Amino acid sequence: MTSASKQRICDTQLVDSNKRKFLAHGTSGIVYAIDENRVLKEYYDAEQGTEEHRALDRLGSHPNIIQCFGGAKENSIILERGIPLLSLSDAADIWIQNREAWIKDVAEGLLYIHQNNIIHGDIGCENMVIVDKRVKIIDFEGCGMDGKESTAAYKWYNRRGLSVDVQSGIFAYGCAVYQLLTGKPTFSELVDRVDRDKVARRLWTEGRFPDVQGLRLDSVMLGCWSGEFNSMEEVIAALLRPKGGLQEVGHYSGRAAIWYISEPNPPQSIPRHPTQCGAASNNVTTALPTSVNLGALLKLNCLLRPNLQTHDPARSGIASRHDFQLTSSFPLPSTNFAWTLLSGCHGM
């Protein structure tokens, strides 16, 4: 269903309070399901609802911002219904297939928020939902508009200081990228500590960032945390860099697996035909150089066998079982990796 058709439904259908279904409650209010397309958000404090309504009214329709369909009564608004992002964290296939697109979605949404002179104040995976496979940012009740101070607060794991501004939003975005790539928040090892807030802020202040070595977009995360970026425009430019960023050109829909290569000095040539691919063992294989031709990549379906140690997909050049994108040559980590395509591949 398109956004336009959803809007028509929401404009013509009244909210039946007898049929609404409780979904969740938070610090600002309670959320009820109205139907498959809409939710009703009732605020404990009507003023918070007014602020969120104002912010969403200014932002209007954007693919990465939750849509507001208007107010039902003084202390409530009607919003587009989505699937909470974190509810999908246990659905590994969905998470891995979509996380790179979601990372870009969040960046585009946050850029648009800043362009409209709004500071969200609580950017994080817990304030994101999925609508039609796209990430949308939610929860604007504590935002700051036109220089007004935000009343929202970041979580203990994604804030470095007490200020809430563009820089703190960029910082929190870097933490969201980390969580989307690894499935866990920054400094998750501190979660059970009573002093986790104090310890996390000290680590951030001292520049002792979470380990991102080997993760995709490592330079983007570090740039967000270190203050390298002054705007989300700069962050998005870094995301789209050919090296160390997301690839946007050419599309290949398939599923790939990446494996550790134990051979210390594997050959650097790529077999050009399946008959040239020998069956791999634990210490004999063919490695890929720093870039690989797409046509050659499609020939590697017989290169490896599943007796090799599986590499953590979060630290791969392309995640396993991931709908990914390729140019004619795709940058790979300098470490020796080899690839095997699994069943169900559809090439260009």
The pTM assigned to this predicted structure is: 0.68
- The dihedral formed by the CA atoms of 99, 100, 103 and 109, expressed in degrees to the nearest 10: -100
The one-letter amino acid at 95: W
Please report which confidence band the pLDDT of residue 74 belongs to, taking 50, 70 and 90 as the band edges: confident
Query: 287 near 311, Cβ under 8 Å?
Result: no
What is the average pLDDT across 316-343? 33
What does 277-334 look like in DSSP terms, one character per residue?
A: PPPP-SS------SEEEHHHHTTGGGS--TTSPBP-GGGSSS-TT--B---SEEE--S
pLDDT for 59 beyond 60: yes
- Indicate the SS3 state at residue 195: coil
Residue 162 has a pLDDT of: 81
What is the average pLDDT across 131-147? 95
What does 323-348 look like in DSSP terms, one character per residue?
A: -B---SEEE--SS-EEEEE-SS-B--
Please report which confidence band the pLDDT of residue 8 belongs to, taking 50, 70 and 90 as the band edges: very low
- Indicate the SS3 state at residue 118: strand
Residue 28 has a pLDDT of: 83
Query: 347 near 298, Cβ under 8 Å?
Result: yes
Side-chain-side CA neighbours of 334 within 13 Å: the count stands at 3
Residue 13 has a pLDDT of: 54
Per mean pLDDT, which range of 62-66, 236-240, 277-281, 285-289 is the poorest? 277-281
Residue 25 has a pLDDT of: 86
Please report which confidence band the pLDDT of residue 307 belongs to, taking 50, 70 and 90 as the band edges: very low
Q: What is the pLDDT of residues 220-272, one digit of tens each?
A: 999 999 999 999 999 999 999 866 566 433 322 222 323 222 333 433 443 33
195: phi > 0 → left, psi -120 to 50 → alpha, else beta; which?
alpha
CA–CA separation, 269 and 157 (whole Å): 44
Instruction: Provide the percentage of residues in the chain whose pLDDT is more than 70.
Output: 64
Residue 239 has a pLDDT of: 95
Query: 65 near 113, Cβ under 8 Å?
Result: yes
Residue 246 has a pLDDT of: 64
DSSP 1: -
- Contacts with 60 (C-beta within 8 Å, 6 or more apart), sequence order: none
Residue 244 has a pLDDT of: 59
Query: 171 near 224, Cβ under 8 Å?
Result: yes
Query: 234 near 218, Cβ under 8 Å?
Result: no
- Indicate the SS3 state at residue 68: strand
pLDDT for 126 beyond 70: yes
pLDDT for 300 beyond 90: no
User: Tokens 């990796």 sit at which residue?
Assistant: 337
User: Tokens 């979060």 sit at which residue?
Assistant: 314
Q: What is the pLDDT of residues 149-164, one digit of tens each?
A: 898 889 999 998 888 9
**What domains can you pick out in the chain, each with its CATH number?**
3-81 (3.30.200.20), 84-239 (1.10.510.10), 249-348 (no CATH)
Task: State the CB neighbour count (10 A cutoff) for residue 183.
Answer: 17
CA–CA separation, 140 and 156 (whole Å): 19
